[in-house]
Amino acid sequence: MASSLTSLVNDDGRYQKSFQLFLERSSEHQCMQDFIHNKLPDILASIGNGKSHLNVIGVGSGAGDIDLEMLSELHQKHPGVTVDNEVVEPSSQQLHNYRVSVSQKKDLDYITFTWNKMTASEFEEHWKEKKMTKKADFIHMIQMLYYVKDPAATISFFQSLLDKNGKLLIILVSGESGWGKLWRTYRHQLCNPDISQCVTTEDIKNILDSKGVRYQNYELPSQMDITECFTEGDEKGELLLDFLTEVLNFSKTASPELKAGVLKLLRHPECSVESNGKVIFNNNLGVIVIEQLT
């Protein structure tokens, strides 16, 4: 990452604002919901080994919208089973939003929530310090592996927590998405490896293949309207550009060459299609499902 640039995640307020706008401008959560309702039920049916209590860990849960939908599918597949749900989320604002959402929902009595305001690596430390022996039936990390220093080590740790028939679900942008093209071209200028890894599911599959870890894999088509990014000075366009580049105030702090290069690339046919005056960025996601190490 160019030394004059600051990572967006250093400013949680702006990060959360840009993420919220990204959700509004994209079909991100819609495509996840399609997966959760159409494919996930079969995956969830295979966990638990007939137990009456299931342990779930959500890592980087955000405001919990997607987590609660998955928990609802889990409940439908395993009615009468109680659930212990560990939430691992470093943003106090997001954790608060998740708790508010839980307090407003009925029918969640079968779940006990444990709120861990911490990063994935702090959770790992805490787990090891406490010499926890509890095993998990379902662990998910949705759009969060970018933010850990060592995605391979993080996957190994959480995979080691899986119980018999347990599943670890990872969702990240697909290698075939516009994000993949953006990062292959501008990784060194945009990504700060101390903070953000710019990984796609392609990178994760390569890591798993090299270790001989077996996995299931799904592609989820998704789009993002980035038209506003091309109107100089547009406040929302600047927020979206921050989210796309993961750079705080990208428009104001990037060099003119980098800014021009990124804007040109975002319109490139490998990143976006243009139709009816809109620029639609390829936001395809990939899903990877890993089992307990045997």
Ligand X SMILES: C[S@@+](CC[C@H](N)C(=O)[O-])C[C@H]1O[C@@H](n2cnc3c(N)ncnc32)[C@H](O)[C@@H]1O
Residues that bind ligand X (CB under 6 A): 19, 59-62, 66, 88-91, 94, 119-120, 142-144, 147-148
Which residue of the chain is nearest ligand X when measured via CB? 62
Closest to ligand X by CB, 54 or 142: 142
Q: Give me the least distance between CB of 288 and ligand X, in Å please.
A: 15
Closest to ligand X by CB, 145 or 271: 145
Closest to ligand X by CB, 146 or 186: 146
**Three-class SS state of 291:** strand
E-strand ranges in the chain read 53-59, 82-88, 111-116, 136-142, 162-173, 215-220, 223-225, 272-275, 278-282, 285-291
Q: Where are the alpha helices (DSSP H) in 130-269?
A: 151-160, 178-190, 201-211, 235-245, 250-253, 256-266
Closest to ligand X by CB, 61 or 227: 61
Q: Count Cβ atoms below 10 Å from residue 94 Cβ, excluding itself.
A: 21
What angle is formed at CA 28 by the lines to CA 22 and CA 32, rounded to 5 degrees?
150
- The reply, when asked if residue 270 is annotated as ligand binding, is no
Q: Give me the least distance between CB of 206 and ligand X, in Å please.
A: 21
- The DSSP symbol for 185 reads H
**Three-class SS state of 231:** coil
Q: Give me the least distance between CB of 265 and ligand X, in Å please.
A: 22
Q: Give me the least distance between CB of 170 and ligand X, in Å please.
A: 11
Closest to ligand X by CB, 5 or 63: 63
Q: Which H or E run includes 25?
A: helix 12-25
CA distances from 157 to 76, 120, 168, 185, 221 (A): 29, 10, 11, 31, 29
Q: Give me the least distance between CB of 99 and ligand X, in Å please.
A: 14
- The reply, when asked if residue 55 is annotated as ligand binding, is no
> What residue numbers does the annotated binding site for substrate cover?
28, 283
